[in-house]
Amino acid sequence: MCGICGEYRWDGQPVELSRIQNMLQALEKRGPDHVGTFSDGGLAFGHRRLSIIDLSEKANQPMIDPQLGLALVFNGSIYNHPELREQLKIKGHQFFSLGDTEVILKAYKQWGEDCVKHFKGMFAFAIWDLKKKSLFLARDRMGIKPLYYAEHQGTLRFASNTQALLKYPIDTELDNDALHNLFSLHAVVPAPRTVLKGIRKLEPAHTLTISATGEQRLKSYWHLDATRSTESCDEKEWIERIHASLKTAVKRRNNIADVPVGVLLSGGLDSSLLVGLLDEVGIEDIRTFTIGFDDQPEEKGSEYEFSDAVVEMLKPNHHKFHIPNEQTLSRLPEAIANMSEPMFGQDAIGFYLLSEQVSQHVKVVQSGQGADEVFAGYFWYQQMAKAKGDNLERFAPYYFDRDHNEIQKMLSEDYISADFTAALIKDKLDAVNADCYLDRVLALDTTTLIVDDPVKRVDNMTMAWGLEARVPFLDHELVELAAKMPPELKLRDNGKYVLKEIARGLIPDSVIDRPKGYFPVPALKFVRGEFLDFMQDILNSQQCRERGLYQRSYINKLLAKPEAHLTRIKGSKLWQLALLEFWLQQNNI
């Protein structure tokens, strides 16, 4: 796990390495172990390393292979790199390092652009062909690793976060269509857009090749097929198959590392099951980490009672942290400063503070993101499955934070587009290859919506402390298998039925049978006191007024009853407005 950046000029001018150094400053937290640069005329790479696999200097980046005429910067982990290494050795390739980075170089030489089809893992990388003077960019199937880019006057710059790209002149005008997505899809702006017109992101499961003349070729290399399997499996067989696939995913993410791997244990089913599976496959030194906050009158600030039950049963090496409310609020600006894009999820600060503590013990953790989207754990899936109408009519009333008419009342006229989100979601739902509506929605969620909300949030908050998060529930082979499973095995028992059955005997029943929970950060959930003061100051600031993004009448309506205006999935509308404005101010936009 690392931070990467680069600049490619096809206007005949060389790249100044000082520009790469400036971008690397914005990536420092992602890779504290080593920094490196490389340049070749109109191309320059920068890399910040977090040493996980092959800790030696031979695995430092940028990695150059003079014999192949290739240079690489890479962020992520390739879990099947030992098997690929053996395949490539048989084909005549020789290796000078032991990690996954060099495997990518050799794989690209062997299979060209199709090399990505051979990788199992999470990745964003760039390869420079010194002979052809061409640049190849790639991103993993599930979009776990970020890759942003900006074009400006015959130059393309790319980086692991937007802050690195903002070091140089780009178009920082707000993208109206992206704003519509942001406020409809609880902070999701699907790739390739971001809220800034001048910054785009490579879509998951895509590659981008740029020739010496600047010609660009964007290519998709994977699609999720959610049609029913032709093979006949009963319930028991499906549970066994998912169980086996999950064990492989968890074991893969534990064993492919030359440093200890921990688990972020929330006390919910998903993270608890990861601990149970690690115990089942025989991992002896399981390290778990739990965080809690101060209670509010309406809600507990921790789920210790459930995480403690897992610890009592499985006896991992457990670490428990408690964060007082005053620290939660005072350090909120830090968390927002580490967001590559605005993120509305109030648990971001929780992941940020937890990652700070965990990074003092391990460099790698497994986390439970993706289980709800792959196995239908959220309440709105039940509502959508029962609803009538076309694809969009069954989706929008249960998922959209705001309908288009409300956005027209919220945003100033200059920032209002057509109902872009409805059109986009309809097109994406219609395009999914699925036999039933639920699987159509889950496929959209898993491959598009989750990428730019929980997955991005966890990447940003963990990497702010040089901590690598691995997400076994988003193993692409597991996702492919689950997509073909009958929907009733996902929806039964209020969702995630198959995971609950797998968990029996591996973790306490009290964790399996508890109501669905969410990362509790009560100080930020209830809009009052210092938290309300914080939002009022932002929305009443001179910068906010001069920007003129929001209609004052809408802001005043929310401020009059700050706890009354919630989205369909119980998010604070006031917080969403304040978060975006604060993010823009922090980034001097």
Identify residue 368 by its one-letter amino acid code: G
Among 467, 500, 522, identify where a domain stops: 522
Residue 521 amino acid letter: V
CA distance 544 to 564: 23
> What is the arithmetic mean of pLDDT over 404-413?
97
Distances (CA, A) of 126 to 31, 32, 143, 378: 17, 20, 15, 36
3-class DSSP state of 99: coil
Beta sheet of 134-139, edge-to-edge order: 63-65, 70-78, 121-129, 134-139, 206-210, 216-220
Q: What are the residues whose beta carbons fall under 8 Å from the beta carbon of 371, sequence distance 6 or more?
A: 269, 270, 273, 377, 473, 496, 499
Q: DSSP assignment of 220-258, as one string?
A: E----EESPPSS---HHHHHHHHHHHHHHHHHHHHHS-S
Q: What angle do CA 541, 331, 299 make, to 5 degrees?
A: 100
Same domain, 105 and 252: no
DSSP state of 299: B
Average pLDDT rounded to a whole number, residues 462-485: 95
User: What is the CATH classification number for the domain harbouring 57?
Assistant: 3.60.20.10
Backbone Cα Rg of the chain: 23
Q: Is residue 323 predicted with pLDDT exceeding 90?
A: no
Do 62 and 108 belong together in one domain? yes
**What does the alpha-carbon distance between residue 414 and residue 196 come to, in Å, rounded to a whole number?**
15
Residue with tokens 């005329």: 41
E strand or H helix at 206, and its extent?
strand 206-210
Classified as helix, coil or strand, 316 is coil
User: How confident is the prediction for the chain on average, in pLDDT?
Assistant: 92
Of 246-260, 355-369, 499-513, least confident by mean pLDDT is 246-260
CA 499 – CA 472 distance, rounded (Å): 13
Q: Write down the residue that tokens 């993120």 correspond to.
A: 343
243 and 120 assigned to the same domain: no
Domain membership flag for residue 582:
no
The pLDDT value recorded for residue 293 is: 75
Cα–Cα distance for residue pair 362/470, rounded to 1 Å: 13
Q: Judge whether 404 lies within some domain.
A: no
Is residue 515 domain-resident?
Answer: yes
Same domain, 439 and 486: yes
Instruction: For strands 287-293 and 317-323, give the pairing.
Output: parallel
- Domain contains 411: no
Indicate whether 395 belongs to any domain.
no
Q: Record the pTM.
A: 0.95
Measured CA to CA, the distance from residue 162 to residue 587 in angstroms comes to 10
In 3-state terms the chain splits into helix, strand, coil percentages (rounded to 5) of: 45, 20, 35
**Same domain for 299 and 443:** yes
pLDDT digits (tens, 9 = 90+) for 521-535: 666 767 888 889 999
Highest mean pLDDT, choosing among 41-50, 343-352, 540-549:
540-549
Q: Give the span between the Cα atoms of 375 and 319, in whole angstroms.
A: 29
Q: How far apart are CA 273 and CA 267, in angstroms?
A: 10
**CATH number for the domain including 262?**
3.40.50.620
Kindly state whether residues 210 and 242 are assigned to the same domain: no
pLDDT of 233 higher than 80: yes
pLDDT band at 288 (very low <50, low <70, confident <90, very high): very high
Domain count, the chain: 2
Q: What is the pLDDT of residue 417?
A: 84
Helix axes 235-255, 476-483, angle to 10 degrees: 170
Residues 322 and 454: their CA atoms lie apart, in Å, by 22
Q: What is the DSSP string of 111-126?
A: HGGGGGGG--EEEEEE
547 within a domain of the structure (yes/no): no
Do both 257 and 149 map to the same domain?
no
Say whether both 140 and 245 belong to one domain: no
pLDDT of residue 278: 96
Structure token pair of residue 122? 């999470």
> What span, in angstroms and rounded, lies between the C-alpha atoms of 432 and 439?
9
| Minimum mean pLDDT range among 114-123, 289-298, 340-349, 480-489 | 289-298
Question: Can you read off the two tokens belonging to residue 272?
Answer: 């608890």
Asked whether the predicted pLDDT for residue 454 surpasses 80, the reply is yes
CA-CA-CA-CA dihedral for 325, 340, 585, 561, to nearest 10: -50
CA 101/CA 54 separation, integer angstroms: 9
**What is the C-alpha separation between 176 and 21, in angstroms, rounded?**
32
Burial class of residue 112, CB neighbours in 10 A (0-12, 13-18, 19+): exposed
Residues 132 and 107 sit within 8 Å (Cβ to Cβ): no
Separation CA 216–CA 135 (nearest Å) = 10
Domain hosting residue 41, numbered range: 2-220
Which of 145, 81, 9 is closest to 458 using CA atoms?
A: 145
Torsion of CA 400, 190, 582, 538, to 10 degrees: -20
CB contact at 8 A, 286 and 507: no
Token pair of 366 as six digits: 């497994």
Give bridge partners of residue 171 from the DSSP assignment.
Answer: none
- Kindly state whether residues 259 and 163 are assigned to the same domain: no
Mean pLDDT value across residues 200-223: 97
Q: Which amino acid is at 376?
A: A
Q: Tell which of 202, 220, 238 closes a domain.
A: 220
Q: Which residues are catalytic?
A: 2
What order of strands is seen across the sheet that includes strand 148-151?
Answer: 34-40, 43-49, 2-9, 155-159, 148-151, 200-201
Q: What is the mean pLDDT of residues 458-480?
A: 95
Asked whether the CA dihedral 343, 348, 351, 352 is positive or negative, the reply is positive
pLDDT of residue 101: 94
In a domain? residue 70: yes
Under 8 Å between Cβ of 202 and 147: yes
pLDDT in tens, 62-95: 999 999 999 999 999 999 999 999 999 999 999 9
In a domain, 209, yes or no: yes
517 pLDDT higher than 80? no
Q: How far apart are CA 128 and CA 212, in angstroms?
A: 11
Task: Tell whether 205 and 274 lie within a shared domain.
Answer: no
Residues 306 and 432 reside in one and the same domain: yes
The predicted structure's pLDDT at residue 58: 66
Residues 429 and 315 in one domain: yes
CA dihedral of residues 226, 232, 238, 241 (deg, nearest 10)? -90
Half-sphere exposure (Cβ direction) of 532: Cα atoms closer than 13 Å: 11
Pick the last residue of a domain from 151, 186, 220: 220
